[in-house]
Each structure stands twice: as C-alpha cells, then as structure tokens.
Amino acid sequence: MAASSSTSTCSSFSLLLLLLLAAAPWRSGEAAAAATTAARALNFTRQDFPGEFVFGAGTSAYQYEGATDEDGRSPSIWDTFTHAGKMPDKSTGDLGAGGYHKYKEDVKLMSDTSLEAYRFSISWSRLIPRGRGPVNPKGLEYYNSLIDSLVERGIEIHVTLYHLDFPQILEDEYHGWLSPRVIEDFTAYADVCFREFGDRVRHWTTMDEPNVLSIAAYDSGAFPPCRCSPPFGTNCTAGDSTVEPYDVAHNSILAHASVTRLYRDKYQDFTAYADVCFREFGDRVRHWTTMDEPNVLSIAAYDSGAFPPCRCSPPFGTNCTAGDSTVEPYDVAHNSILAHASVTRLYRDKYQATQKGFVGMNIYSFWNYPFSSSSADIAATQRALDFMVGWILDPLVYGDYPEIMKKKAGSRIPSFTEEQSELIRGSADFIGINHYTSVYISDASNGKTVGPRDYSADMAATFRISRNDTPSGQFVPTRLPRDPKGLQCMLEYLRDTYQGIPVYIQENGKNGANVKGYFVWSFLDVFELLAGYHSPFGLHYVDFEDPNLPRQPKLSAHWYSKFLRGEIGINIENTISPDEHEHADQ
C-alpha cells in the first residue's frame, strides 16, 4: 500500500509540475484561470507541501543579464560562440533579458508573484574579468545589490557558480575544463563568491549540468567551445570526442569537490552556526564573543596534544596518533581568526543595524615580568607577549601577525592575503581576556637551532611562576597565584598597544584602560578543562555526587552579591597575600 500511495503522489505531483511548465508561456487571463482549475482538480494547494519546501524560478547570467560589454565584464565562451554566428537565428546574448539594469524591477515582480526562491548564476567573467586575480568592483556591486534586493523581499537565494559561460580568457590560456588547472582557478573564483556573498546566500550550486557540458561541448561540439572529432561531431576545428568528454567531466567533479571542501573548511560550519545564534537570540543578546582562548586551543590541542582532539608530533607532544606540532598550531589560529572575521562581517552586515550588538574575541592572558634586567630577558618578555597576545590581537587590530612571529616561524605560519587582511583588520568590537596570574620570563634563544621547531621553540622563552621555580619551556598553569598588579599591567598594555580597544575581563578600570566589564569565572562549579571536577572556581557550590546537582552559594557568592548592591567595596592592597607582593612590586 505504501508503494502504491507513493506512486500515486509522485504521479500527481508530476502532473502539477507539467501544468506549471505548460502554463509558463501563457498570457491570457483565461489560461491562468484554466491553470487554477486544473490545480484544484488535483487537490493540491501550497499548504499540502511542507513549509521548508520552496517554489521558485531561475535564470542564468548569460541568458538574463545582457550588458555583456558594460562595466568591465570580459567575454565568455558564449559571447565568442554567438558573435561567430553559431546560433540558428544569429542572435547573441548581448541584451539577454536586460536583467543587469532591470533586476530591481524583476525582484519586485518575484515578490508580487509570491515567489519563494530565486535561482540565478554569477558571471565569472563579470566578477573576475581576467579569470583570476582582481575582482571587478562594478560586478561586485551588481551582485551585492541583487542579493540585497532579494533579501529585502524575503526571497530565498540559490546561486549557481557556473552556468556554461566559461571566461574566454582562460579558455584561450589552457582550454578551460580540459585542463586540471581549472580546478585552482574555479576554486579561487568560488572563494570570492563565498566571501563576498556568503553572509546572505545559503544555497550554492557549483555548476549547471556538467554531464550536458561534457557531451554537447566536447563530443558533438554543439555548445562552445565546440570541440569534437569526426564522425561524432561536425564543423569542429579541434577536439577528440573519444576522450575529452570524460576528461571534462572528471575535472568538473574534481573542481566541484575542491569548492565544496573550501566552503566546508572555511565558511560553512562556524559562520552558519553563528548566523543561527544571531538570528534566534540577537533580539535579546548584545555582546557576542566568537570563541574562547584560541591561543590556548591552538597550543594545547595541536602542539602538546593535551586538549582534544589531541593532535601533536614528537618530541613536542606524546600519546598522539596524528598531528604536526610544528605547523598545526599556526594553522588552527589562522583559521580561527578568519572564522571570527567571517562571523563579525555577517553580524555587521545582517544584524548589527537592528540588534545594536557587538562582536568580540577572547584570549587567555598572563602578565610577563622579565626574570632579570638583562636585555635578552627584556626582549624575551616582549617576544612572549607577541606570541601569546599579539598572535591573535595583532591580526584583529592591524591585519597581520607580529613581525617577530613571522620571522621565527617562517613559512610554517600562514600568510593572510590582502583581502583577508582587510577582512580581519578591525573585526573585533571588543576583546575579552581570561586572566589569572603573572609569570617571570627568561630568554631561551641560545637553545638548539637545528631539528624540528614548534610554537614554544619559536617563542624561545622560559617561564617561572616564582623566582625560585625551575624554569620551563612551556607555561602550564598548575597553580595560579593572584597578582592584581599584573592584571593592571596587562590592561594598560592592551590599551597602549591596541588603540584603546574595549576590554572585558571575562574570567578570573584601571588607569584609563578601556575596560567594559568584568566576569567572574565561574558562576558555579563546572567541569574544568585542566582538572575536571576537582578544582572548582564557582561562586556557587555544585554537588556533583548528587544526581540532582544541587547548588549552594559560597561565601564568595554572598560577597559578590553585596559588592554588586553597593554594600561593600574592594581594597586592592588587602587582596594581596604577603607571598604575592613579589609580583606586585615588579
């Protein structure tokens, strides 16, 4: 019965689609009435389809836009084909449907038609006229305006990256889809589209009908670039119909996979997730921190392998089954910064005007005192600040990593493209810091210079919690003595180094530092990443042995409550125990 019912439904739906297709060229009111009657006869209404099912319509760039020689667009293979008189009626797409100039009017028509979705393609030749390299500002302006118009009308956007109109300049250079070189160029073009439009576009089709392209353009030669060989095709001056269709399909599949990987790795998951958060909660949330301690994540999860996913390589980490400690920490931080910037742009473009919120990033910080007054220790102290704080904040404020990091890590630290640098620069409305303690820094640049190097070796510094501690090449916060003076120094350093960017103390103002808030860590006892349930920091005690996990306020909770009500104040001097004055006096 189920199969029979399904077949009946499919048949009825097919009839409905046929009616819709047949109705397309109709013009008279009588025809429209007939279509309505026929649809009712099938007992289908919009309400019969799931809410997430969309009804839309589509166009393609060459067929719709026209304006083929305007505003910097370069020819595509279809321009070459039609201008050579290859169409039966000798027509060209020079005018198309005039969409390049009439798209706003058309979008209104879509809205008046109650169209739920619109599928269109982007002209590679209009957006990047040389096939690779500089983006055409006019092309960018057109597609942004089209997309914005659709968003304003509430029409779901479906974009096709390639609809048969390959840039002629690349066809001349390496025969287009016949060459594996197309994979890199197509991926770079897609990267521009994802970067520029991805904050508003959720549905991407990489290419239209690659199976038809392979046959019609490289077997029969009916479509440009008109490649074929006898007896399979006629009027072709080059080609091999026995091989090239398969080569083109092969490269098309590889190009699609490359683009998909790019999108998933660089754009999809985190930005799409953030979009849901902004959309669903942004009417009530005004302060968003994109991620917590990316500097710690990069080291602990991808250098030492202490945090999941526990990636590392000897001799820098142990018990890891995969990873490369010399490279992956830099890659992870790099991708974290780009993901943050992508999310920030999404928020600013799509939500900030109405939600009035702010987007920032959080880092782990500790203040650095030089172990001695030697120039080497003083230089190492600044180097450690650059590696721990500047690693993340320099790109967010200035658009690139600290020079000392680029010098020490060399090719192991990724570079930002010019466009990426522009994207990340100024992408934080505020900075959150998780600050607990201070350390003493000694220079370790006289250590070994051969063999593999990781983040710690590049930093070339040793750490001590107190002067009497044994120095270590890594800062491992097993104990965290309080040092209010160090917190003040860190806030002043952030103020002076990063243009007064607003700061929130998000875990644990002064002298003009632009401190915007303070957040105790933590509100209640939680699972601590370094100590599990055995080192609680909460204001409220949680009984983890009780299945109901009851809460009970600690004395610190009562104190904090009284402080917030203005019943008590803070005396900084009284918060420093005698053994902690060692830090505070530096």
Distance between CA atoms of residues 190 and 200, nearest Å: 15
Catalytic residue among 116, 156, 209, 582: 209
Structure tokens, 318:
């142990």
Q: Are 114 and 206 in contact (CB under 8 A)?
A: no
Nearest to residue 385, comparing CAs of 489, 243, 535, 275?
Answer: 489
Distance between CA atoms of residues 233 and 93, nearest Å: 24
Give phi and psi for 540, each to the nearest 5.
-120, 130
Is 152 considered catalytic here?
A: no
Which contiguous run of DSSP H or E holds residue 18?
A: helix 2-23
Partners of 484 in the β-ladder? none
3-state per-residue secondary structure call for 303-345: CCCCCCCCCCCCCCCCCCCCCCCCCHHHHHHHHHHHHHHHHHH
Structure tokens, 467:
């002067």
Catalytic residue among 65, 171, 328, 507: 507
Q: What number of other Cβ atoms are within 10 A of residue 439's Cβ?
A: 25
Amino acid at 403: E
Is 184 considered catalytic here?
A: no
Which contiguous run of DSSP H or E holds residue 162?
A: strand 156-162
Nearest to residue 56, comparing CAs of 111, 1, 121?
Answer: 111
* Helix ranges restricted to H, 198-234: 210-218
Q: Are 330 and 412 in contact (CB under 8 A)?
A: yes
Separation in Å, CA 577 to CA 477, 482, 563, 583:
19, 8, 21, 11
- The residue assigned the tokens 């107190």 is 466
**Angle 208-212-213 (CA atoms, 0-180°, nearest 5)?**
75
Distance between CA atoms of residues 244 and 190, nearest Å: 24
Long-range contacts of 403-407 (CB under 8 A, 24+ apart): 405/458
Nearest to residue 297, comparing CAs of 402, 414, 388?
Answer: 388
Distance between CA atoms of residues 312 and 328, nearest Å: 8
- The residue assigned the tokens 């190097």 is 453
* DSSP per position, 546-581: STT--EEE-HHHHHHHHHHTTS----TGGGS-GGGH
- What are the b/e assignments for 81-116, b being 16+ CB within 10 Å? bbeeebeeeeebbeebeebbeebeebbeebeeeebe
Partners of 430 in the β-ladder? 360
Contacts of 33 (CB under 8 A, 6+ apart): none
Handedness of CA 327, 330, 336, 338 (dihedral sign): negative
Structure tokens, 447:
């250590």
Distance between CA atoms of residues 168 and 174, nearest Å: 10
As annotated, the active-site residues are 209, 507
